[in-house]
Structure 1
Amino acid sequence: MEDIKAYIESGILELYVLGDVSHEEKLEVEAMAAKHPAIKAELEEIEKSLELYAKANEVDPAENLRDRILNSLVVNLGDDRNFASKEKAPEPKVIPFEKPKTTNIYKYAFAACLALLIASVIALISVYNRLQVSNNLVASLQSQNQKFANTVSFKDDEIGVLRDRSYKVIRMGGTPKSPDAGLSVAWSPVKKKVWIDMADAKMPANDQAHQYQLWAIVGKTPVSLGVFDADTTSKDMKQMQSIASADAFAVTLEKRGGSPTPTMDAMVVIGKF
């Protein structure tokens, strides 16, 4: 079931509907659709969505475009007199009989060609507009797939922190300034990587003028590991700047953007190994 879900979320079905797949991929999609009703149903939903999207974004040709085409044809082609023979007729020696009037076939041929040309231009404009809509949709799908891939990669890194035994996890406790505050830090001396767990954080909300700043205490020297906001809606871990050694970690509330040195009376949490 997971393989079918992953196949649907890969984006191959959207490309199949748009005709942007190889012959082998086309046969593969058709085989999967025949084998799995879920894939067939997803194909039908994509086709309906594309049709609705195209209709909603259909653009009629501008009226001034039709006028420009007609005026250009009239100016370039001229009237029926352009088709008349330029050779001077020989002087008749006798009085000719008056010929019966005939219908000018060129006039009807010109009108038919003009109508066909206008219809072709309108059809090309419609096809171009639909192609633009399809291209925009493909670009949007590719962007969504890239965001999904980035999210999956980030989640893999988070899971790797939990499984990697080189990481040390410390729960920093609150100070007298904020006794109920708390924040967990995961640090790997081997990989020199530091993560903070935002899902488990209990930090007072900071305003727009301030940010929290994480410090690593190396000996007696504080080293900045970056700033962050107390986002209570985030359930992710946040990677901070790297450090090879540390005796303790602490967080202070500083002006937005961080400070070169910690404000000791603004310390919110601290934790030692």
Structure 2
Amino acid sequence: MKVEDIKAYLESGILELYVLGDVSAEEKLQVETLAAQYPVVRQELDEIERSLEQYANQHAITPSENLQNKILNSTLVNLGDDRSFTKPRKHSDEEIYEDDNIVNMPQRQNAFFKYAFAACLALLLVSVYAIYNLYSKLQDTNTQLTAMQLDRQRIANQVNLRDQELEMYQDTAFKVLRLQGTAKTPQSAMIVAWNPSSQKVMVDMRSMKLPTHDKEHQYQLWALVDGKPVDIGVFDLPANDSAAVVKEMKPIAAAQAFAVTLEPRGGSINPTLDQMVVLGKF
């Protein structure tokens, strides 16, 4: 694996999800294999585990003394105390001798186990409370990590779209054509960039000025090749909150003009000429 691939893997967030136990069996095996092969992966994994452990310790909540007393009292309320038991009475026919050196040892063994059990149970309850509190914090951390991953993916997509836009306008291999409105829609306009070498066709979605349409229709881009229209793909108007900057259409090797018509959703085999909204020629 290349250094760039390892760096991208470390920044992907999969190690954080592994520590939180939120990965599939295949992903778990992959993380453990890479950690065994690459010390930098093992080091990053250890650092994440230490960070989560420090986070849990810093945010641990110790139960109040009042809560501990309530737990102990609720546990001991029915256990009883040996001191409340009455001594067994002797039968009337038993003979007692003054010289007998008989020592009756107090029966405290049962009481010891009762209090030990109560203490263990109280400790268990406090531990369960602490574990639940830690689990809640880990769940919050997992949610935050997921949100961060989604934000990072969204930003990466926006950067990719920006790069495509810069490529369209800065690469001299692209021919930029401004399509003007027809008599049907004189206010319409849009920009198409075409690279004859790579055959790429890009549409500038931000500068697009086309009439709105219903859900049953789409706009379709056509290239005029030797006097014949060739389908280059369909597109919708971008939403107001859309992050779309450019849209790549079907490639075309040669074109003398480009036009856009309004067609039924999914596109048509041949253009509907009376529904042409923009046209541009080289």
Same fold (TM over 0.5): yes
**Secondary structure of residue in 2 paired with 1:199:** strand
- Report deviation, 1:209: 1.6
Higher mean displacement: 243-252 or 193-202: 193-202
Residue 113 (structure 1) aligned with residue 113 (structure 2): no
| Distance in 1 between residues matched to 2:264 and 2:152, nearest whole Å | 37
- Report deviation, 1:99: 2.3
| Distance in 2 between residues matched to 1:141 and 1:22, nearest whole Å | 22
Please name the residue that 1:199 is paired with.
Answer: 206
Which has the higher Rg, Structure 1 or Structure 2? 2
Please name the residue that 1:228 is paired with.
Answer: 235
Please name the residue that 2:71 is paired with.
Answer: none
For normalisation by structure 2, the TM-score amounts to: 0.61
> Deviations 1:220-265 (Å, cap 9, x if unpaired)?
2211111122337367222212111111111000112211221111
Choose the corresponding residue for 1:155, options 148, 162, 166. 162
| Distance in 2 between residues matched to 1:119 and 1:134, nearest whole Å | 23
Amino acid at match of 2:128: V
Would you say how many aligned residue pairs link Structure 1 and Structure 2? 203
- Report deviation, 1:193: 0.8
- Report deviation, 1:133: 1.6
Residue 127 (structure 1) aligned with residue 134 (structure 2): yes
Residue 209 (structure 1) aligned with residue 216 (structure 2): yes
Give the unaligned 5+ runs of structure 1: 1-9, 27-46, 56-69, 71-78, 81-93
**Secondary structure of residue in 2 paired with 1:269:** strand
- Report deviation, 1:98: 7.1
What do you get for the CA RMSD once the two structures are aligned? 3.8
Please name the residue that 1:251 is paired with.
Answer: 260
Residue 172 (structure 1) aligned with residue 197 (structure 2): no
> Deviations 1:173-226 (Å, cap 9, x if unpaired)?
222211222211111001111112222222111122211110111112211111
- Report deviation, 1:102: 4.1
Residue 145 (structure 1) aligned with residue 152 (structure 2): yes
Give aligned-pair identity as a percent. 44
Please name the residue that 1:44 is paired with.
Answer: none
1:11·1:145 contact (CA, 8 Å) conserved in 2? no
Amino acid at match of 1:164: D
1:11·1:141 contact (CA, 8 Å) conserved in 2? no
Residue 260 (structure 1) aligned with residue 265 (structure 2): no
Please name the residue that 1:270 is paired with.
Answer: 279
| Distance in 2 between residues matched to 1:148 and 1:22, nearest whole Å | 28
| Distance in 1 between residues matched to 2:12 and 2:195, nearest whole Å | 37
Choose the corresponding residue for 1:99, options 83, 95, 104. 104
Q: 1:232 to 1:136 in 2, by over 3 A?
A: closer
| Distance in 2 between residues matched to 1:131 and 1:232, nearest whole Å | 37
Amino acid at match of 1:248: A
**Secondary structure of residue in 2 paired with 1:261:** coil
Amino acid at match of 1:227: V
Amino acid at match of 1:108: Y
Amino acid at match of 1:268: V
| Distance in 1 between residues matched to 2:121 and 2:12, nearest whole Å | 44
Please name the residue that 1:42 is paired with.
Answer: none
Residue 181 (structure 1) aligned with residue 188 (structure 2): yes
2:262·2:276 contact (CA, 8 Å) conserved in 1? yes
**Secondary structure of residue in 1 paired with 2:255:** coil
Please name the residue that 1:65 is paired with.
Answer: none
| Distance in 2 between residues matched to 1:162 and 1:243, nearest whole Å | 18
2:220·2:262 contact (CA, 8 Å) conserved in 1? yes
> Deviations 1:127-162 (Å, cap 9, x if unpaired)?
122112211211211121121112112211211111
